Chains A and B, each alone.
Chain A
């Protein structure tokens, strides 16, 4: 194994990008590590720099000398090679002490099923080939970590890659060697195995300089119809592969493709270079497809003409014109060694006449009497028919769609049945315009809205050029469906449409007309270009957007938000029509109100979101911005609608599950929120983050055990965020275990300046514990920093209202009354502004209870309950409602809410995945 020669002189080409599970970046260093993660990891580190000497001391203390290195009991001696998939070590076999080559999967690829499957197949294929000139496999197994490995004969003399130059002086030796190689390849063909990547680096030389064909990594067994090798990654090595292999993995290859590669190796052994060379892979492939291979003697005059003929025969562009088997090639090479006439020369005449016929078809037709022509024309017709079939197949392949399960937004489940009926409906729609291919994936397949990876995988597995998926939900008794067509290779969205009213029997009605022209398009770059946000096409705007987005993503302080806002404004000055910049500006402005309740920013957020939607009504970013505005305005139902639209227009994107979960949680539907949290997508994208939300849901559902589990996970996965610990503290608090709550609270790392969740929970513990003096101090400090508090409050306890209750209790009536007046004014305004916000109604009810207005308070409590308030446990403990406690309705509310919660909890438990 070796690194392939650079297909591109600047970068390695990842035919099949592996998206990083942590950051979704696709750039990888040659060692396979994600570049983005490598950089990000060194960011914001508080630690002191680690010096060289200290590190060397640590190393010296580790009892892991290179001499004690073992993999599966083999002593590792040296690294021989490292490639895209595996690493090969020189190793010593246990007991026997024999030196072997041990190949294993690179650790960082060990989690890729695709790589593991390919590796195992390679080992299996190689292991069942038993030939003196195919590298023998000694052992196939798994390492202690469960990674596959195999050992094979160690090639002491390296490969033809190193030997090719010395061999130039000894053509006879080269030919003897190639006879053995060709016979080995013939044997593999007889076993039904095509090598598909023969090149000098794959012809190893043992200690006696006997050749050993190796690396069946790309080999395909003709008996199995595995798609594993269809990716571009298994393309072969430019310069050595047959031109038909360049047609892609779908090309039907025969033994003659390997013959071509053998010819290319022979050519190099005779002339010192492969037949085609160029700047990059494409140039090489293009030449080999368009031009005949140069004649050997034009590069090396001393080479015998017969060898030139043999080489040329292998390198014919038409597979039918080459040697038809490796055995014939071996035979001809042997003929040359034995000074016997070679077969290739006789066949050369035949090939030449066919060539002539192809280039002079009209003239040839006039010479119909000639026998040779009769044969040639029959052959031509056969060829032509084959060509027609190929053309038809390639048209079908280009107009191919695979339909993935749609996402049922109501149940948050994949709707496979819809995908099936969509397939037949779409097929008949498209048939009206021309040939096309519509498929669905197997019932086990992953839904396409999950991730880019799923889309690409579906494309690979079905060999389809495009992927169609979407969402379905019920709106006012009608089925509303969104359809998204994507490029299967890149995941780029090519077409999105919403149908407000799906016809049951014909779900793809009218779709064929829109999709057919897109499917027929050979090159989608103009479609994609038109879809690119203008802000990304302008250098100044793009830079500002990128920088702003980076800030936004970690946005934790008001100054972060302000800086991001400034950057997006810069972008908009450069490109006022950028939907992206408007959307992001809106998101930053809205996000800022989380930290500081300055409503002017909410207004800015709203204006910008509206502007973005006006510019691009189908932009998921614009609707995401609008959803955020609605959320901060307490209009949770509207926020929910906008969030569902972001999924309809753009599929599931980062954090959308979290947003939906939070919104449903606020709407008093924690059991529905859990559905969104449970999407496997969330876990992969935002590990830890979704867990505190899960905790919040379970706490509302009264399942403290599950809540604790989730918060613990959040604390573990996001040690940088206090939310997990704050949640754990809250669980204790709601159980009335104040000491437990305080205990957890004390362990929370105080590493945030502007965020006050930790202080807030500490204050609430003392308040609910009726430790009013302590609570006064804590709430006093919070109110001093930000009287209104920007974010959310657990149990909807605002600082002012808590302080009012405390002052009341401590006998400072005047101060209490002043605070209550402010609170009443604020909360009344909030309820007027946000009539459907359950929390606003509840907050007003609390102030009214403080003022002794029990009737009004119960009225607003009922309002809160109607719009979704379910947190009866904090209601029960909250000192602000003390004046209502004697009232029979107080208990009624608790009873009703607890029954509602129990019911939701039951439903949530039933939805839990069965273990």
Chain B
């Protein structure tokens, strides 16, 4: 049986990225209550959806799940939950999932949750909810049959891809080229052979050869941003590919 051929290769992310791990271990952050000026605030902003999804899918009502998500991130912020975490033992994704599971099991946490927050709105709910009702769309059947863990992973994957796309859009906008983003974004996933450069050239008002080069750079930049985002959640850069593979495998195995 002739098998497929593909190259196994590793990309080198040569520049430095702050890993989410380093945020967790930095106790100084924990003393700061304001989410805005810390990396952790950023962290919540990116990853609140998968956490909220998981809690909601565990059977809590939407308002309860909102409160619990809020409290969960607060505990992360206080450094109570993840202090014993060992970055060598796994991905940031699985750590958060395990932590949120433990958090839900902890009855005390549940009982005291209203006290805990102390009125601090950590997750600015209304703003984020209205930004985009959901990042990910799934078929009804998949949503109802997939276990909460799989939906967490799907939400996680979506959060990472969205963040990479958001950064890409911001970069385009900062150069007055939002149209470039709008026109090209749908071509990020197309096979090379399916791309109609002539159409793109018309849509952007740029000659075809320039479109080819532009799209090449656009896709390349996107890939870099995505890998940067993933690199922030794994213990070292060599694991980026493994993490992507894991997420793809989960998506195709549980949601199809």
- Which one of A20, A37, A551, A594 contacts B2 once the chains associate, using CB atoms below 8 Å? A594
**Known A25-B256, A35-B157, A279-B61; contact A10-B49, beta-carbon cutoff 8 A:** yes
- Which one of A20, A59, A71, A551 contacts B175 once the chains associate, using CB atoms below 8 Å? A59
Contact with A along B232-256 (1 / 0, CB 8 A): 0000000001001111111111111
Residues of B within 8 A of A13 (CB): 137-140, 143
Residues of A within 8 A of B204 (CB): 62, 64
- Complex CA distance for A76 and B256, rounded to whole angstroms: 38
Do A35 and B161 touch (CB < 8 A)? yes
- Which one of A34, A46, A490, A594 contacts B1 once the chains associate, using CB atoms below 8 Å? A594
Q: Is B132 an interface residue (CB 8 A)?
A: yes
- Which one of A12, A33, A68, A547 contacts B134 once the chains associate, using CB atoms below 8 Å? A12
Q: Looking at chain B's contact residues, is the secondary structure mostly helix, strand, loop, or mixed?
A: helix
Task: Give the interface segment out of B31-39, B51-59, B74-82, B108-116.
Answer: B51-59
Contact with A along B195-223 (1 / 0, CB 8 A): 01001001111100010011001111111
Do B191 and A687 touch (CB < 8 A)? yes
- Which one of A11, A722, A755 contacts B143 once the chains associate, using CB atoms below 8 Å? A11
Q: Is A22 an interface residue (CB 8 A)?
A: yes
**Residue of chain B at shortest CB distance from A9:** B62
- Complex CA distance for A338 and B142, rounded to whole angstroms: 54
CB of A208 to closest CB in B, whole Å: 28
Contact with A along B130-151 (1 / 0, CB 8 A): 0011111111111100000101
- Complex CA distance for A8 and B218, rounded to whole angstroms: 33
Task: Give the interface segment out of A317-325, A372-380, A555-563.
Answer: A555-563
Do A66 and B223 touch (CB < 8 A)? no
- Complex CA distance for A47 and B10, rounded to whole angstroms: 9
List A residues 802-839 near B (Cβ within 8 Å).
Answer: none
Residues of A within 8 A of B180 (CB): 59, 62, 64
**Known A39-B247, A47-B220, A50-B220; contact A62-B1, beta-carbon cutoff 8 A:** no
CB of B193 to closest CB in A, whole Å: 6
Do A549 and B137 touch (CB < 8 A)? no
Do B134 and A8 touch (CB < 8 A)? yes
Do B177 and A44 touch (CB < 8 A)? no
- Complex CA distance for A724 and B251, rounded to whole angstroms: 31
Do A12 and B138 touch (CB < 8 A)? yes
Q: Is A31 an interface residue (CB 8 A)?
A: yes
Q: Is B179 an interface residue (CB 8 A)?
A: yes
- Complex CA distance for A547 and B3, rounded to whole angstroms: 18
Interface size class of B (residues with CB under 8 A): 35 or more
- Complex CA distance for A76 and B179, rounded to whole angstroms: 9
Q: Is A387 an interface residue (CB 8 A)?
A: no
Residues of A within 8 A of B165 (CB): 29, 31, 38
List B residues 3-30 near A (Cβ within 8 Å).
Answer: 3-15
Do B161 and A38 touch (CB < 8 A)? yes
List A residues 1-57 near B (Cβ within 8 Å).
Answer: 3-6, 8-17, 20, 22-52, 54-56
**Residue of chain B at shortest CB distance from A10:** B53
Do A751 and B7 touch (CB < 8 A)? yes
Residues of B within 8 A of A40 (CB): 244, 248
Do A107 and B183 touch (CB < 8 A)? yes
Residues of A within 8 A of B155 (CB): 10-11
**Residue of chain A at shortest CB distance from B196:** A145
CB of A546 to closest CB in B, whole Å: 4
Do B8 and A556 touch (CB < 8 A)? yes
- Which one of B135, B176, B178, B210 contacts A30 once the chains associate, using CB atoms below 8 Å? B135
Q: Is B121 an interface residue (CB 8 A)?
A: no
Task: Give the interface segment out of A193-201, A497-505, A713-721.
Answer: A713-721
User: Nearest 10 CB-CB pairs, A to B?
Assistant: A12-B137, A550-B249, A37-B189, A17-B139, A6-B133, A108-B186, A10-B53, A546-B253, A12-B134, A42-B223
Other A-B contacts than A39-B226, A42-B222, A46-B7, 13 sampled, CB-CB below 8 A, are A6-B134, A12-B136, A27-B158, A39-B160, A42-B244, A47-B223, A49-B12, A50-B220, A51-B15, A58-B217, A62-B210, A106-B186, A662-B2
CB<8 Å pairs between A and B, sample of 27: A10-B52, A10-B57, A10-B143, A11-B137, A12-B137, A17-B138, A17-B142, A25-B255, A27-B138, A31-B165, A33-B186, A37-B189, A41-B189, A41-B219, A49-B14, A52-B221, A55-B217, A59-B177, A59-B180, A145-B203, A280-B62, A546-B253, A555-B3, A594-B2, A687-B193, A721-B6, A722-B5
Q: Write the residues of chain A forming the contact surface with B, with a CB cutoff of 8 angstroms.
A: 3-6, 8-17, 20, 22-52, 54-56, 58-60, 62-71, 76, 79, 106-108, 144-145, 232, 279-280, 489-490, 539, 542, 545-547, 549-551, 553-557, 560, 590-591, 594-595, 628, 631-632, 659, 662, 687, 689, 716-717, 720-723, 751-752, 755, 791-792
